[in-house]
Amino acid sequence: MHRSGYRMMLTRRILQIVVICCFALVCVPRAVFAHGLIAGGAQVIEVDAGRYPLRIEVQVPTGAPTTLTARVWPVQHFEGAASVSLKATHVNSQVFDEQLVFVPEGQHTIAVFDVAITSVGTWDLLFVVRDSRDQEGIVVVPVTVPETSAPPLTIPLFVAFGLLAITLTASIVWPTPAPWLKGLYAHGFTASLVSALVLGGVYVWPSVVVEWRTPTNQSRPYATAVMAVDTRALMIELYDGATGLPADDLVPHHQALMHMVMIEKTSQTFLHAHPARIATGVYSYDLTNIPNGTYDVALELERIGSGSQILRGTIEWVGSDLPARAPATRRSPVPAEYTQNDLTFAITTSNVPRVGMPTTINVAVIRDGNPVPALEYWLGMRGHMIVRDVQGSLFGHVHAAGAMNDDFQPVAQAGHTVQFVYAFPRAQEYQLWVQVQVNGQILTVPAVLSVQE
Ligand SMILES: [Cu+2]
């Protein structure tokens, strides 16, 4: 009797452990090794390859062998006829496939590629743009092609149903078992039935699981950036802040692997660009058409499983034929109207800007006295605003309030105003740069805002 009681207790414990293991399998997030573009729908990134800003859309497949489709949009016309090539190389085996597309002169052709993916794993997509003057722009986009896998709950669900089937069969084969086996029937049956019901329910409504399984590996620390200017480009090397090893685990955020804002200290020449990844942890941005000067550089990036971060530095650029620009003329603080070509930007605030209080900044875009039909989505938002204090110590990147849309194609929806909300930390003047897109053109409007105590 004593012995059978012990057996029952042991059986109960084993069953409890089995059930706990089932749930652990479900709940524990899988390790994430992927980086770059990851499977799941079409992904769009903006990148400056040499002198050419490109929009690259990649449809990352699941499983192999298969085909990967990529489309390349030139954001500005190529000089003369051009060619765009794609070479997809499997990082481990060096197996590759390549294609070349010619873009006739003066045409805004989208280059479409279908390359063979022979095995799962990380692939480097090397895009090369070459124009009629033999100027070249390159970018290497990493993509991770995962194994085709069953939905995440398949195995635990099968285990639960298996246990249920075993206990049911056993109770039919041995209807009058020994006392210790009775306990096994009862507990085994209850445990496997409950597991099967819970797992089955979550299997049918997978959104519950997606919530649990969101990869949140906050252990990845900050990256550091080493910036150097060579004869014609800014070279950026990223390193892991904790180990000093190259950091090459960026994922796209706001439709780019890296956003870069450059502001010249005297002329306040402003630039928002997307350096191209050209090698492991190395990014490059062509400076040929950038006026000489001393630039504050802010890099916004996101490492996988980690939040976004801003890395800052200063570079001296003297290699351009374009001389340094004259010091910026002083602008009158908001509320103000600024004109650029045929567009007028009316910038106002909804409340008096005060320290620590959220200030709403409204930007209305008007052409010939009429509101423009629509401000388009750019990098997933209707508008971006960069905030800086005059000393350059504060750097903020504010997105337009309201709905976000990550669709590649701008949504032609009425709306000629954008609003930004920001709480300024000190009573002083701040420099603002508002960026919106109208008719496919990105416009940058500088402004000054005075904040009171
Ligand atoms: Cu950007």
Q: Output the CA 114–ligand 1 centroid distance in Å.
A: 27
Cα(256) to centroid(ligand 1), Å: 6
Two structure tokens written together for 83: 């060619």
Dist. CA 379 → ligand 1 center (Å): 7
232 and 287 Cβ atoms separated by less than 8 Å? yes
**Ligand 1 midpoint to CA 30 (Å):** 30
Where in 341-423 does DSSP place strands (E)? Answer: 343-349, 358-367, 370-371, 384-389, 395-399, 417-423
Q: For position 209, what pLDDT does the model report?
A: 41
DSSP string, 62-83: SSSSEEEEEEEEESS--SSSEE
Residue indicated by tokens 């062509």:
286
What is the model's pLDDT at position 106?
74
**92 Cα–ligand 1 center, Å:** 31
Cα 274 to ligand 1 centre (Å): 6
* Residue 375 token pair: 């401000």
| Average pLDDT score over residue span 38-63 | 85
The token duo for 234 is: 């800014």
What does the pLDDT look like over 367-381, one tens digit per residue? 888 877 777 777 767
Task: Kindly give the distance from the C-alpha atom of residue 273 to the centroid of ligand 1, in angstroms, as a whole number.
Answer: 6
Beta bridge partners of 129: 84, 137
299: CA distance to ligand 1 center in Å? 9
CA distance 276 to 45: 11
Out of 106-120, 327-341, 390-404, pick the least confident: 390-404
- Would the pLDDT of 184 be above 80? no
Centre of ligand 1 from the C-alpha of residue 143, in Å: 20
- State the sign of the Cα–Cα–Cα–Cα dihedral 41, 71, 287, 276: positive
Q: How far is the CA of 275 from the centre of ligand 1 (A)?
A: 9
- Between the CA of 270 and the centroid of ligand 1 the distance, in Å, is 13
Q: How long is the chain?
A: 453
Predicted confidence at residue 372, as pLDDT, reads: 78
Residue 173, CA distances (Å) to 168, 169, 170 in order: 9, 6, 5
Ligand 1 geometric centre to CA of 16 (Å): 52
Residue 263 Cα to ligand 1 midpoint, Å, equals 14
Using the mean position of ligand 1's atoms as its centre, give its distance from the Cα of residue 82 in Å. 25
How far, in Å, from the CA of 183 to the mean position of ligand 1? 63
More confident residue, 339 or 229: 229
Mean predicted confidence (pLDDT) in 100-117: 87
Please report the pLDDT score of residue 25 as a whole number.
54
Whose tokens are 């942890």? That residue is 281
Confidence of residue 39 (pLDDT cuts 50, 70, 90): low
Multiple choice CATH, 223-317, 3.40.50, 1.10.238, 1.10.287, 2.60.40: 2.60.40
Q: Do domains 37-145 and 336-450 have the same CATH topology?
A: yes
Between CA 306 and CA 308 the distance in angstroms is: 7
> Ligand 1 centroid vs 31 CA: distance in angstroms?
29
**In which band, very low, low, confident or very high, does the pLDDT at 408 lie, cut at 50, 70 and 90?**
very low
Q: How far is the CA of 187 from the centre of ligand 1 (A)?
A: 58
Span from the CA of 397 to the centroid of ligand 1 (angstroms): 10
Work out the average pLDDT over 397-410. Answer: 61
Identify the residue with better confidence: 25 or 160. 160
Residue with tokens 């374009």: 322
Three-state DSSP at 29 gives coil
In angstroms, what is the span from residue 131 Cα to ligand 1's centroid? 24
Say how many Å lie between the CA of residue 93 and the centre of ligand 1.
33
| pLDDT band for position 105 (cuts 50, 70, 90) | confident
Q: Which of 96 and 162 is assigned the larger pLDDT?
A: 96
Q: How far is the CA of 253 from the centre of ligand 1 (A)?
A: 9
Which is the CATH superfamily of the domain at 336-450? Macroglobulin (MG2) domain (2.60.40.1930)
Domain boundaries, the chain: 2-31+150-213, 37-145, 223-317, 336-450
Average pLDDT, the chain: 83
* C-alpha 259 – ligand 1 centre gap (Å): 4
Distance (Å) from CA 438 to ligand 1 centroid: 16
Is 80 exceeded by the pLDDT of residue 444? yes
CA of 360 to the centre of ligand 1 (A): 22
**91 alpha carbon to ligand 1 midpoint, in Å?**
27
Provide the edge-to-edge strand list for the sheet that holds 293-302.
Answer: 270-273, 258-264, 293-302, 308-317
Separation of CA 272 and ligand 1 centre (Å): 6
Q: Which of 113-122, 390-399, 400-409 has the lowest mean pLDDT?
A: 400-409
Amino acid making up residue 347: I
pLDDT attached to residue 125: 95
384 CA distance to ligand 1 centroid (A)? 9
Distance 269 CA to ligand 1 centre (A): 16
204-213, 353-362, 392-401 — which one is most confidently predicted on average? 353-362
Confidence of residue 30 (pLDDT cuts 50, 70, 90): very low
Fold of 37-145: Immunoglobulin-like (2.60.40)
How far apart are the CA of 1 and the centre of ligand 1, in A?
A: 74
> 46 CA to middle of ligand 1, Å?
8
